[in-house]
Amino acid sequence: MSKQKATISSKPELRRTKGEKSSSKTPKQCLIQRLPLEVLGKILHYLDASSLFCISHVNKFFNRLANDDIIWLKLYVSEIGEGRVWRPKGPVENTVAERSAEAPRRPPGHWKRRYLKERAGYNVSEWLRDLRAISPYTGLPSRTESLLRKRRVSWELTVTPWSGREAAFEQSQVHFFQSSVTVCWSHSRWPPCSQVASLQVHAVVRVALACPSLQRPGWRSLLGSFDAEALSERSPLVGHDALVKVLVLQGLLVGVWRGTTSIAFVIACFHFHRLVERSLLGSSICPYSGAVNKAPFDDIDPEYGLHGYTLHMVLHNTVAEIMSGQFSQLFCRNAQIQNGHIELVAISRADLSQHTPLSGNISLPWRCEGLEGTLENCCLMSFTLLDEALQPFWCLSSPVHLAPAKKPGAYDYDGEHFSLSCLRPEGHVAMELVRTERQRQLFLIDLRLYVGLQEVNRHFGKSY
């Protein structure tokens, strides 16, 4: 019995011994972490950028080591810096040693970001020259689309739920127009609206590194951040069909499946004004903010800043243009300033010769996961208001909704009257349309811009 007891009592000891051996094997899987930091740093100095990027995704320990500024400074000097910024007089090691003294003065990750920007093709002087070519029709750089395509700029939507675990979605469709670009995201892994805390849109330029990971490195520039709190409750409804309803979230169109809180798609429209700079010169947490172009001050003309405006406007959806027009020599007299706004009349309902037909109905096609539909009475508007010096003064791309007019403004047409408006802090746009009974075609019979007087005074240095 004693031997049997001894045998039985030894089994727990044996199990504990095995447990100790198994637990002791766990740290041996990361034996490299036991090496001194100086040795690990020396090893990482021999790796290229692709290997460093892969190692940074192992764990927090290697992420901190692989993002060391001294390592990326050496990569920058050896591969890029010699021909771009400075030419080292001695070996690369000496140059790195000299520049290492400057590392604490710069923000963390400076040299890694600078290296990725250069590898992504950020030749600023080259594309700044291309932006000097201005279209006489829109008043915007005529090579914006070609530059974005040449730089392989894509757009990424980051969804942050309340749990804090972010999810990034690549663009599904992109459509370029005269003065804007429309980007659509449609996926099957959206979280419910009630769980979404915020949305962020980044312009992304991928870096050509040989990384086996699906997450390729790239330079991200923040274009907009949107607070999605209570998205399904307070956001205005602009349209719906049999499958989805569409809400407006600070300029974004968010499609939600009918009867659920699941997101179907997200649509954003970006104006071309400084879009190249905003896509290439911003950071992942801070958008680009360039210098404001101020018009020259004119002491001779007492109403300088109230005349000489040019408006270029496009109504479009996700695939085609609905209406495009340019209106010049818009003005407002000093005595006509009311309620802190100047009124610029592009189309007057009293002048029949100015009334413009639309090439199609106000609608917004959408496509998601093999399903598609069309939202009636909803579209996108992009307009550019140029000052007398033909400099962009007010640029906007926004979704708009066609609503029945409360009171017809013109009785020269037999048909349904509608209103189309867009309200912003800088001012608002008001349009009146009519659908004729015979032709069943929409006509734009009135178009007015109400620009905030504060914006006019700030831009022209006046005090109206």
Res 181: pLDDT: 96
Q: Kindly give the confidence (pLDDT) of every residue in the chain, 464 residues in length, as a single tens digit, with 9 standing for 90 and above.
A: 444 444 433 334 334 444 444 444 444 456 777 778 888 888 888 888 778 877 877 788 888 888 888 888 888 888 776 544 444 444 545 555 555 555 456 777 788 877 777 766 666 777 888 888 999 899 999 999 999 998 889 999 999 988 878 888 999 999 999 999 999 999 878 888 888 889 999 999 877 666 655 456 677 899 999 988 756 556 677 888 889 999 888 889 999 898 888 899 999 999 999 999 999 888 888 898 877 766 666 768 888 889 999 999 999 999 899 999 999 999 999 988 999 999 999 999 889 899 999 988 899 999 887 889 999 999 999 999 999 989 999 999 999 999 998 776 556 778 889 999 998 989 999 999 999 877 788 999 999 999 999 999 988 888 88
Res 284: pLDDT: 84
Res 387: pLDDT: 92
3-state SS record for the chain: CHHHHHHHHHHHHHHHHHHHHHHHHHHHCCHHHHCCHHHHHHHHCCCCHHHHHHHCCCCHHHHHHHCCHHHHHHHHHHHHHHHHCCCCCCCHHHHHHHHHCCHHHCCCCHHHHHHHHHHCCCCHHHHHHHCCCECCCCCCECCHHHHHHHCCEEEEEEEEECCCCCEEEECCEEEECCCEEEEEECCCCCCEHHHEEEEEEEEEEECCCCCCCCCCCEEEEEEEEEECCCHHHHCCEEEECCCEEEEEECCEEEEEECCCCEEEEEEEEEECCCHHHHHHCCCCCCCCCCCCCCCCCCCCCCCCCCCCEEEEEEEECCCCEEEEEEEEEECCCHHHCECCEEEEEEECCCCHHHCEECCCCCEEEEEECCEEEEEECEEEEEEEEECCCCCEEEEEEEEEEEEECCCCCCCCCCEEEEEEEEEECCEEEEEEEEEECCCCCEEEEEEEEEEEHHHHHHHHCCCC
Contacts of residues 45-49 at CB distance under 8 Å and 24 or more positions apart, as own/partner, are 45/71, 45/74, 48/75, 49/75, 49/115, 49/119, 49/209
Distance CA 382, CA 425 (A): 16
| Type of residue at 237 | L
CATH assignment of 35-119? 1.20.1280
Res 27: pLDDT: 45
Res 400: pLDDT: 93
- Domain boundary assignment for the chain: 35-119, 126-280, 309-460
Distance CA 166, CA 222 (A): 15
Res 2: pLDDT: 44
Res 10: pLDDT: 38
